[in-house]
Amino acid sequence: MFLKSMNGVRDLSFRSMESMLRRLTLSEVRTQDFDFEQVVDVASKAAGTTSGVPDEEWWKKLCRACQDKACSTDGRRLLHTKLIHSLSQRLAVEEAYRLNETDIEKEKIESPFVVMGLPRSNGHMITHVFARSGLFLCPRMQDTWSPSIVVEADRAKLFKTDSRRFERQNPNFACVRRLVGSMADDDLTLNLHIPQSFAWGLLHGLDEYLLQTIQEDQSAVFEYTKKVLKLFQWYRKFGHFSDCVKVEFNVLDNPIEVQRTGPKHVLSKLPWLIHSPLGILNAESLHKAFPDMNVIWTHRALASGISSLCSTLAIHNSLYTGKKPSETALAQIGEKVLGIFGSGTENAIDYFGNFDKSKMVHWSNRDANRHCTRLMMKTMEHFNLDIDRHRRMHGIEGQTEFSSLQRPLHDSNLQYFGLHEGVVHQVFDAYVHQFEEFAFEKRFGVTVQDYVSLGETPALPSLNRKQSRVDQFAEGQPAGGHFLSQH
């Protein structure tokens, strides 16, 4: 099913037997079905509410943009389904607030941890490992898909049904993301509930609509994310939002388990963990929504990170067009990524230049791949969070679980998108010089003086041995070439 060899971006023109049967049995989505009135009518019935539509003008623009999108038969049905689902969930969440606003607004989102950085920089893995430790509250895929459903078992059941159907119809989407309901999720699904979000234009190939949203303030996007987190925290009071821990150790206070793993500390309040792939494009709006946030900035070498991002957007777009993108389309994707994320990264660097450094850490892609759990311990130490051995074991299991999922390769070379390292270096010049030690851009001739990696092993004294009067060989020198050193 998954081909190892690639010619540019993976060809998604393959259609499963189920998708062919659905094409014969289901009626075709017409252009009139994207009319705003019909979309609102169907979404209101699904949400069970007759209240007005928030951001009505933007929803009208989005419906027109989806109407004009050139799609295949399956792609048009998928786009229509996502549009209906996003609007219905938005209406249902607003209805839940209308009925219980007094109680929900009492919930406070204090000092959340935000994982940000350029998309495709292993932020999802870091989020999952941190969430599995049990020290954070984090929305899972089954939660963000249908946040308006109160009962946790119903959310899991609905996501399992929808994701299984989607994976059978689009098997190659596993290149981008494996759909597992219990895994920690980012906020992109919640961003789709806000029509003026960048996510609609980027993930669905709505270029003209993307140009309109770029000029729009994104504060409403992150305010809505905060709103949904308050709703989840309210669910938790009734036992319908649990931690991202699969198997809880020491449930019955077994003395054998206590002897093996040590005591388990009781946590009075858990902070929220948010993965925001597009947060780097609107650092000010993100900070405005979460003024006391702690930031974990993830990095990846630009030569591989930019090509992976372009390839991912091409795969998303192919879901709706039903065919492999042309060379012109690939070049347009490369130009789009350079324009949006180049300027967004530069603005984020300027904004976080005045950010409290005690509330920010940096992770590289190599850190996450090689020693994610140990970096998690150092990050906890940096933020003065105590983690016992029980929760460290949960984090190790989360890293193993994330790495064991099959993810077929799909990244293409920069050349497929009309890019090369010189162009990327020119556009991301501020990023290269600011984060060379994390992104490993040494080919550009940038050197960092007196840099100590977060993942570097401290100098440990020899046990049961007196200090020698003679200096040892290479004493005080950095461990060059060691896998724990980034010099």
Domains and CATH numbers, the chain: 17-444 (3.40.50.300)
pLDDT digits (tens, 9 = 90+) for 220-244: 999 999 999 999 999 998 888 887 7
Which pLDDT belongs to residue 238? 87
Task: Name the residue among 158, 120, 129, 126 with its Cα closest to residue 141.
Answer: 158
Is the CB of residue 116 less than 8 Å from the CB of residue 298?
yes
pLDDT digits (tens, 9 = 90+) for 275-322: 999 999 999 999 999 999 999 999 888 888 898 899 999 989 988 988
Count of CB atoms situated within 10 Å of the CB of 28? 9
What one-character DSSP code corresponds to residue 192? T
Predicted structure pTM score: 0.83
Q: What are residue 211's phi and psi, to 5 degrees? A: -60, -35
Place of tokens 């065919």: 323
**Angle value at C-alpha 32, between 27 and 35, nearest 5 degrees:** 125
Q: How far is residue 149's CA from residue 309's CA, in Å, rounded to a whole number?
A: 32
pLDDT for the residue 156? 93
Q: Is 372 exposed, middle or buried (0-12, 13-18, 19+ CB in 10 A)?
A: buried
Residue 125 backbone class (left: φ over 0; alpha: ψ -120 to 50; beta: rest): alpha
Alpha carbon distances (Å) from 248 to 134, 215, 455: 9, 46, 28
CA distances from 3 to 17, 170, 176 (A): 18, 14, 14
- Give the pLDDT score at 483: 39
Q: How far apart are the C-alpha atoms of 416 and 426, rounded to whole Å?
A: 18
Tell me the residue ranges of DSSP E strands in 424-469: none
Confirm if 221 and 197 have CB atoms less than 8 A apart: yes
Nearest CA-CA partner of 338 in 363, 366, 313 = 313
Rounded to whole angstroms, the Cα distance separating 196 from 410 reads 29
Alpha-helix runs per DSSP H in 281-435: 283-289, 302-321, 327-352, 365-382, 389-404, 421-427, 429-434
Low-confidence ranges of the chain (pLDDT < 70): 1-27, 246-268, 410-411, 437-487
Phi and psi (nearest 5°) for 141? -60, -35
Amino acid at the residue 343: S
Strand, coil or helix: 1: coil
